[in-house]
């Protein structure tokens, strides 16, 4: 699947306000524009968005997320090397000195969301 979800936080560290933009192509190759604010996320999808925010809190106080890219992926999640669908986060963050840095699951393993609700959330917003 060639799709991603971009989430922008206009005020780093304030997770209650964001804009979510799904980026994907439908069956005809058209990328429909869509933007969702925190008030437009369906109630049944809110827990998955909360899981994203929970992962971002791992950055701590030095770095605050300004933008997140979520992508559907497969990850090995157990000792039997079973691959399951997951959502992987890439995070652009800033610090109080004006620094800007990218973080991935290599930096923070919690950026791989293994909960099936995260996969459902991703598919909900990128269904073609």
pLDDT band with cut points at 50, 70 and 90 for residue 80? low
Closest to 126 (Cα-Cα) out of 34, 54, 44, 46: 34
Residues 6+ apart with CB under 8 A from 122: 3, 5, 70, 72, 87
Q: What are phi and psi of 60, to 5 degrees?
A: 80, -170
Per-residue pLDDT reduced to its tens digit, 31-79: 777 899 999 999 999 888 888 888 888 887 789 999 999 999 877 666 6
Residue 1 has pLDDT above 70, yes or no: no
Percent of the chain with pLDDT over 90: 50
Residue 115 has pLDDT above 80, yes or no: yes
Could you tell me the two tokens for 127? 């269904």
């Amino acid at each position: 699947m060639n799709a991603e979800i971009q989430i922008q936080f206009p005020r780093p560290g304030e997770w209650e306000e964001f804009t979510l933009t799904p980026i994907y192509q439908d069956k005809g190759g058209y990328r429909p524009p869509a933007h969702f604010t925190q008030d437009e996320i369906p109630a049944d999808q809110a827990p998955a968005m909360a899981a994203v925010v929970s992962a971002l809190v791992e950055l701590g106080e030095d770095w605050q997320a300004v933008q997140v890219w979520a992508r559907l992926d497969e990850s090995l999640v157990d000792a039997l090397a079973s691959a399951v669908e997951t959502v992987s986060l890439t995070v652009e963050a800033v610090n109080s000195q004006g620094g800007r840095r990218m973080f991935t699951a290599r930096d923070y393993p919690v950026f791989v969301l293994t909960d099936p609700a995260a996969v459902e959330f991703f598919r909900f917003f990128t269904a073609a």
